[in-house]
Structure 1
Amino acid sequence: MTRIHVGTCGWTDRALVTSGWYPRGHRDTEGRLRYYAGRFPVVEADSPYYALPSPGTTRLWAERTPAGFRFDVKAHSLLTGHPTRPAALPADLRGRARDDGLLDEVWARYAEALEPLRASGRLGTLLFQFPPSLAPGPSAEAFLRNCRERARDWPFAVEFRDPGWWRADRKRATTALLADLDATAVAVDTVQGLPTSVPPVAPVTTARLAVVRFHGRSPHWGTGSKEDRFRHGYTERELAGWLPRVRALAARTEEVHLLFNNCCADAAARAAETMRGLLHATVPHQPTPTCHEPT
């Protein structure tokens, strides 16, 4: 039976930590993860996008979560073609030329850091979120294939931020490309009607896993500060609209991950609870999250 796992994009976001979602006695580093893992079965680890963790750190992640828990881990920014500040690299690599040799070294350290998660059975997938500058075309496809070659022995998921990949005239080709790469196509929920809006399509490209990331429906998607782009409190009606697509994904995959990235106080956690309630009638209804300014 397909497992549908619901969780959030991160468990250490400052807006969540200061919202009061974590109770007293569970606000230290270890306590937060143990508390989170007692309520959700999956989380996205986004910190490796900004800086490479150590194997010791990810070993603690594994030790502080129960068997069957999943971490979907974002790829480091350099690996996905995002602008990368020198401070985001290990100190001994900051003076290196930005070439394939540096990419190989960053990949090797990233893979080494994640090995404890894979060895413990807690790795869901690597998440390669590509920048809006990666538009469809032969050079972009070559870049994707190079990324996949580095990660050839790992579960691999792809999120595009250029909407052209999923527009009607390109959708079939993109689906075929990701299937050929054995890469999970990450579906997204964002506001629609903007030039930067990614269509909410949800193709299945691997039988192993489907992923949906809920970014919120802020009219500032693609512009403004992080809080502007992702501030949104999902309503039950908005989430219910995804149920047919989620069930269609579950019918064709072994596992589905639904991850909430609407970082507005504890809105992501509450939206995840609401979605879980919609999927499983035995879970009590949770109130619609109210969005507050982060402190």
Structure 2
Amino acid sequence: MSGKAPRLVLPEPDPELYARSSELAARAREPALTGNVTFGTAGWTDKTLVQGGLFYPKGTQSAEGRLRHYARHFALVEVDATYYSLLPPEVAAHWLEWTPPSFVFDVKAHPIVTGHPVDVERLPADLKEALGKTGRVYPERMPGEIRDEIERRFRALVEPLQAAGRLGCVMAQFPPWFTATRGNARKLEQLRERWPETPISIELRNKSWLLPERRARVFELLRAQRFAYVCVDEPDVEQGGVPPVTVVTNPALALLRFHGHNRAGWSKKGASVHERFDYLYGPEELAAWVAPVRALAEKAERVHAIFNNCVRNYAVLGAKGLSVLLEATPPAE
């Protein structure tokens, strides 16, 4: 009996849409960037990308080979593995070695930072033993010293990237139940107190933060804490969908994350990551983002556009396609 994991079977994309998206992406410069706007994907090792032979050359099996190949196409990546596991600093050292000096990493914050439940099985053995629990545990239900140690180890991975000038930001994605309350606003302030010198971006996933009567105060809070607001493009579902508001709250960096519009998968209870993000942006959808991206680029020193629809090569096509359209479309007079 083979020990290999079964190949994931996904619905086939629309052939005509896939062809047009591929043709557009093929025109992208390498790496994909336009002016002060840099494009990338959330991760570079998704199994549907690796297995499909859609991006990596045949025979590219090593971690080094994959990242070196990715870095020829993009100058930015969002590291999502840090959300699931505590990686040792040596991993960051390898990333720095395998990528050009201009390559930048946005690092997704560990759940201990954002209040998501922590998967105990993914913790190092000593922390599992000290915690004495199994399953998924919310940070507030952990002893303070263990919370602090988990965050310290996450920071230990971030520090080499920041010291090398290669950290774009720590991307803190807060959970849908993180609502707009005074207590949660204070948690954002405390995050800055714990990470005073680190560039941090904030993705809010509950609509309450962006109600018309409240959003100005929310953005002022983010400005006061030097946080970059993360503009998201996602299914606007009643259960937590957030509208795509573009705003610069830190003049050093503006961030966009494209999640796709797979409404059925997004709201499906127990849906897998691939079910939620199985969405291919077409050229027309991407073209609608040219003006908002350019507006951000006029107000921020740097703009990071991250595609998180990491199914097959959909994120690669989206990131490259938007870069082509931004470069090809002249600014409005």
Using the size of structure 2 for normalisation, the TM-score is: 0.81
Q: Tell me if the contact between 1:167 and 1:199 (Cα under 8 Å) persists in the aligned partners.
A: no
Q: Say if 1:222 and 1:184 are closer, same or farther in 2 by CA, change over 3 A.
A: farther
Corresponding residue number in structure 2 for 1:262 = 309
Percent of matched pairs sharing the same residue: 41
Corresponding residue number in structure 2 for 1:75 = 109
Alignment of 1:63-212 (within 5 A): 63-94=97-128, 95-96=130-131, 98-212=142-256
Match of 2:273 among 222, 226, 238: 226
Look up the SS of the partner of 2:299 in the other structure.
coil
How many angstroms apart in 2 are the aligned matches of 1:194 and 1:126?
28
Corresponding residue number in structure 2 for 1:60 = 94
Q: Tell me if the contact between 1:227 and 1:264 (Cα under 8 Å) persists in the aligned partners.
A: yes
How far 1:254 moved relative to its partner? 0.7
How many angstroms apart in 2 are the aligned matches of 1:89 and 1:147?
22
How far 1:242 moved relative to its partner? 1.2
How far 1:22 moved relative to its partner? 0.5
How many angstroms apart in 2 are the aligned matches of 1:277 and 1:249?
17
Counterpart AA for 2:44: W
How far 1:193 moved relative to its partner? 4.9
How many angstroms apart in 2 are the aligned matches of 1:122 and 1:4?
16
CA root-mean-square deviation: 1.6
Structure number with the higher helix fraction is 2
Corresponding residue number in structure 2 for 1:276 = 323
How many angstroms apart in 1 are the aligned matches of 2:213 and 2:275?
31
Counterpart AA for 1:236: P
How many angstroms apart in 2 are the aligned matches of 1:36 and 1:27?
13
Structure 2: unaligned runs, 5 residues or longer: 1-33, 132-140
How many angstroms apart in 2 are the aligned matches of 1:159 and 1:66?
28
Map Cα deviations across residues 64-101 of structure 1 (whole Å, 9 max, x no partner): 00011110001111211001121232221223361332
Look up the SS of the partner of 1:251 in the other structure.
helix
How far 1:6 moved relative to its partner? 0.4
Structure having the higher Rg: 2
Q: Tell me if the contact between 1:79 and 1:106 (Cα under 8 Å) persists in the aligned partners.
A: no
Match of 2:84 among 18, 33, 50: 50
Runs of 4+ residues over 6 Å off in structure 1? none
